[in-house]
């Protein structure tokens, strides 16, 4: 797999996706009264044309909720999602399937088996978006477009008439990617697309995604637990913890020199990091994402209690996600990011 290309953000290009102070709260009942589960807390980031951005973090940090907000399958509580010049945050999720921007914002799901209709052949699964979005495409044109995207995704023509149970895991993954890519979207959101695949198949699918990005000019948002995959495929990385982005920057720089204690522990936990995970163990337990309704959620750092360098300031003021001095493309939400020892 070739190394990621320079990001469009470095050339002053306008962002394709601009997420600003995005919030999602779920009402919950607690023993003390009505509360709220703060799943996404004031998240802001951009994705530029042609780049691949990785989103990482432990289970329960809010990655899947964030993806559902971006793809408009879940209503937002507050904030803005500016995509290709339009605020999708104002679009009712029930109306998004027929929205004109839906064709430009597509998703590849984690489990290709569950996301494919067992009664549809591979051909029908790939052709379905053309029909559902009301593009008024004639059948000969649909056949030509399916054949074209099948070739781009490495699907032999003879497999197109097979049903999901007649396909291998890698073939089903290709069908899922082809189904999303047939509309030539500007942004492809991928939620752990290789998690259920063998390692050898993962490599092939990742190379396919890299090739599609170049040939179709797409941007990718790649959500994954596999840090090795993110390092190989992504230009930039967003690290999420307890509903917030705690660090962002070029993937190579973040992996080589993480500036947030959580990012450091996350990278050290990967067997390929060459680090001793025991040296970066985090004490304590994560804070609860549940707050009493109306409570101040920014009263302290969300990582306080696990952070090995936490101080009194961390209990009094939540750190903002700010650029590091002299590094406009790297941001960290930590009061002491500059004093953290080199990795």
What is the per-residue pLDDT for 298? Answer: 57
261-296 per-residue burial string, b: 16 or more CB within 10 A, e: under 16: bbbbbbbbebeebebeeeebebeeeeeebebeeeee
Residue range 53-93, pLDDT digits in tens: 999 999 889 999 999 999 999 999 999 999 999 999 889 99
pTM of the model: 0.91
Domain boundaries defined on the chain: 22-98+225-343
Name the pLDDT band for 294 (thresholds 50, 70, 90).
Answer: low
Rounded to whole angstroms, the Cα distance separating 144 from 154 reads: 15
- Please give the C-alpha separations between residue 59 and each of 139, 144, 306, in angstroms, as whole numbers: 43, 41, 16
Rounded to whole angstroms, the Cα distance separating 124 from 161 reads: 8
Q: How many CB atoms lie within 10 A of CB 336?
A: 17
Residue range 195-234, pLDDT digits in tens: 778 888 888 999 999 999 999 999 999 999 888 889 889 9
Q: Radius of gyration (Cα) for the chain, nearest Å?
A: 21
For residue 6, is pLDDT > 90? no
Rounded to whole angstroms, the Cα distance separating 133 from 167 reads: 26
What are the helix (H) ranges across the chain? 63-70, 112-115, 122-132, 139-152, 169-181, 199-216, 227-233, 251-256, 261-268, 312-316
CATH second-level architecture of 22-98+225-343?
3-Layer(aba) Sandwich (3.40)
| Phi then psi dihedrals of residue 29, to 5 deg | -105, 135
Tokens of 40: 């996404």
pLDDT more than 90, % of the chain: 65
DSSP-assigned letters across all residues of 311-342: -HHHHH-PPP-EEETTEEEEEE--TTGGGSPP
């Amino acid at each position: 797999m070739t190394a990621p290309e320079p990001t469009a953000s470095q050339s002053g290009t306008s962002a394709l996706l601009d997420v600003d102070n995005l919030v999602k709260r779920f009402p919950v009942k607690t023993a003390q009264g009505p509360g709220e589960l703060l799943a996404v807390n004031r998240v802001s980031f951009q994705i530029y044309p042609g780049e691949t951005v990785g989103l990482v973090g432990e289970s329960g940090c809010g990655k899947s909720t964030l993806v559902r907000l971006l793809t408009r399958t879940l209503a937002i509580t507050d904030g803005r999602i500016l995509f290709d010049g339009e605020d999708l945050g104002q679009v009712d999720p029930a109306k998004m399937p027929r929205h004109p921007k839906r064709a430009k914002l597509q998703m590849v799901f984690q489990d290709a088996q569950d996301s494919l209709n067992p009664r549809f052949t591979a051909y029908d699964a790939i052709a379905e978006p053309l029909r559902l979005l009301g593009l008024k495409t004639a059948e000969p044109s649909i056949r030509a477009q399916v054949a074209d995207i099948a070739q781009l995704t490495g699907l032999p023509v003879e497999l197109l008439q097979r049903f999901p149970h007649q396909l291998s895991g890698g073939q089903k993954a290709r069908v899922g990617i082809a189904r999303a890519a047939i509309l030539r979207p500007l942004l492809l959101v991928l939620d752990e697309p290789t998690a259920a695949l063998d390692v050898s198949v993962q490599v092939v699918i990742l190379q396919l995604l890299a090739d599609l990005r170049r040939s179709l000019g797409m941007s990718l948002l790649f959500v994954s637990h596999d840090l090795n995959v993110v390092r190989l495929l992504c230009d930039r990385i967003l690290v999420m913890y307890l509903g917030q982005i705690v660090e962002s920057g070029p993937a190579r720089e973040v992996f080589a020199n993480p500036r947030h204690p959580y990012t450091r522990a996350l990278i050290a936990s990967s067997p390929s990091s060459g680090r001793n995970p025991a040296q970066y163990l985090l004490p304590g337990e994560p804070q609860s994402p549940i707050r009493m309704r109306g409570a101040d959620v920014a009263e302290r750092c969300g990582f306080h209690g696990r952070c090995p360098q936490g101080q009194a300031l961390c209990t009094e003021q939540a750190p903002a996600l700010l650029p590091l001095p002299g590094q406009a493309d790297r941001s960290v939400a930590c009061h002491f990011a500059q004093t953290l020892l080199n990795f």
